[in-house]
Chains A and B, each alone.
Chain A
Amino acid sequence: MSDTTAHEEPELIQLLTPEGELTGHPDYPLDISAEEIRALYRDLVLVRRVDSEAVSLQRQGELGLWASLLGQEAAQIGSGRALGERDMAFPSYREHGVAWCRGIAPKELLGMFRGVTNGGWDPHEHGFHLYTIVIGSQALHATGYAMGVQRDGAVGEDGTAVISYFGDGATSQGDTNEAFNFASVNNAPVVFFCQNNQWAISESTERQSRVPIYKRAAGFGFPGVRVDGNDVLACLAVTRAALDNAREGNGPTLVEAFTYRMGAHTTNDDPSRYRASAELDEWKAKDPILRVRRYLENNGLADDAFFASVETESEAIGEQVRSECRALPDPEPLDIFHEVYAEPNVQIDRQRSEFAEYLASFEGAGAEGGR
């Protein structure tokens, strides 16, 4: 047995303790105002609310599925707020907090889980690629995009950096490891941001990796760092440093955000079958929102009115998510044939017109018109 294991007590980069004490880190100085910290707090609360509403909507039958981010808000908001306008993010399917930072409206996220779109938003408009279900695929897309950035000469101080999100499970995939290697040999401006939430559905990190995930980077020839994934300030500082390093032409970094999925993998999952409640309790004490609140309160940086206003806003967003979800229109039947090819395709055109004719044959037979 190796003396290192995947879940060894990690050396975490941490700036803000669970008790709300700002400690700082010599390698990751963070120049941040109270106002900015309050803004991060607001982000954390609101994305948690979007997420909990989506879980409820799934329970009510309004969504087919939802992948909850509960517990991972700091990893996503911290890294998401580190991104510059020109930067490009390649998410997996749980990055609702990053999507929030990139200006994707919650209803856009719901569309896929409700089954009315396959993605929907414009990746270029938001600097945020579509959700990717097949684990690890997007790590290669991010790397290729970053190789394109290099060829555009878009590196340097004002350059573009790319970030790829994935979970601990994805580090078992060939594509993720191929991405590490392609990024390394090409010195591509990409940050690999792994949210190690400890569980790949029911498989623990020990079933994914013999060594701590961040240490794998060394084998590919670039730095790896483990950050407290429940510390929004540490996630912000570490990701910002990695992105700056990439955009300045120094190549990739692997950031392992050590965090915890407090909820189920998706709404189809039952975590009580594979993990102990004591584990959840231990991580609840490290709640990413609570520690920011404690810091703000302990240092008199936010008053009751501030917390009340965030709560009011949270209520409003909850209502907005519920009403917008129910208002999402079903697609038209002939949408099946749209946007499969960029150029005309005689086979699809023919099937489309045959199906249109078939649908039209129901007209007059009932108000539903063949739907």
Chain B
Amino acid sequence: MGTNLTIGKAINAGLRASMEHDPKVLVMGEDVGRLGGVFRVTDGLHKDFGADRVIDTPLAESGIVGTAIGMAMRGYRPVVEIQFDGFFFPAANQTFTQLAKMRRRSAGKLSMPIVMRIPYGGGIGAVEHHSESPEAYFTHTAGLRVVTVANPEDAYWMIQQAVRSDDPVIFLEPKRRYYEKAEVDTAAPIEEATPMGAARVARHGTDATLLAYGPMVKTALQAAEADTDHSIEVVDLRSLSPVDYPTIVESVKRTGRLVIAHEAPLSGGPGGEIAARVTEECFYHLESPVIRVAAFDTPYPQSRLEEHYLPDLDRVLDGVDRAFAY
């Protein structure tokens, strides 16, 4: 028997379970307390766990991440919320020069069990700095783990896995999918959940592999459904760093084609890296070059243009067609 949850509520329930499981888990960020976060993901936690464990911070992202690092050194497990993707940049120094490197600098004496939750991606008609997909900045940085979720099941379990990880985890929440709903078996043991680092075949197929993550998984599944001429396999990447290459390679070796779809800009995006690696490992299995469908190499546009900027069903299908044109 499951509970019907949205992605947003599933993360909330996962945070609650984490805080009940371990008294060292703290939630901190802007407006996470009585308001429950601007997306209400931390709703009710302040009331039940108190202001010492759900900390409303000053409006300073570097301060949030920097103090979380100090808290982690003292034995706490902070879950920080960066209110929107574009607000991560003021915290970039603390994230890249301190958080990611602390374990290495200390020769393993210090761990940084910190989760940075970031509502990310476009499609909600927001003003600038509220719709970006900054995942490539994180995946290029050693020391960070980068994950994202595409359904309530993963949202509920992966946030708990992220909190339990002794590594810093960038937890990207696809904000335009916060209200997607599904059954989650919240009573199952956490050990039975798919591991945080593993990719998942979301739909089986035989003719091409369509790889997506976060907000694009739903679009990819729609595209696979819409292409009645081919049998499209959809792989939900889930972990952007490290990447579960065995699952991807196994799929591509069966289907012979790979199309990668993401909201991040094309150049230097995760798709290019995965394409290069799959080409190395599947050179003799590929029937066509790896095709990427991505956002443009421009700043995120004003919201009245975002439907053109974000890869939609038609652009994903166009990518699939290009793969089959060889």
Contacts and interface: CB of A to CB of B under 8 A. Distances in A.
Contact of B106 (A123, A134, A179, A181): A123
A112 B167 CA distance: 24
A9 interface: no
Contacts of A347: 241-243
Query: What's the interface size class on A, roughly?
Result: 35 or more
Given A141-B66, A342-B111, A345-B242, A178 B105 contact: no
B69 interface: yes
Contact of A123 (B68, B73, B104, B142): B73
Interface string A63-101: 000000000000000000000000000100000000000
B103 A148 contact: no
A179 B108 contact: no
Contact of A145 (B70, B93, B105, B197): B70
A142 B66 CA distance: 9
Main secondary structure of the interface of A (DSSP, over half): helix
A182 B167 CA distance: 25
Which residue, B68, B104, B111, B167, has most C-beta atoms of chain A within 10 A? Answer: B104
A191 interface: no
A35 interface: no
B63 A140 contact: yes
Interface stretch (A114-122, A235-243, A287-295, A358-366): A114-122
Nearest to A133: B97
B74 interface: yes
Nearest to A119: B105
Interface in A137-155: 137, 139-149, 151-152
Contact of B70 (A118, A144, A178): A144
Given A143-B67, A346-B245, 5 more contacts: A118-B101, A140-B69, A175-B93, A181-B60, A339-B108
28 contacts: A118-B104, A118-B105, A118-B107, A123-B106, A124-B109, A134-B98, A137-B66, A140-B62, A141-B67, A141-B69, A143-B70, A144-B66, A144-B68, A144-B74, A152-B74, A178-B60, A178-B66, A181-B58, A181-B63, A182-B57, A182-B58, A339-B107, A339-B108, A341-B143, A341-B167, A342-B167, A343-B166, A347-B241
Interface of A: 90, 117-124, 129-130, 132, 134, 137, 139-149, 151-152, 174-175, 178-179, 181-182, 185, 338-343, 345-348
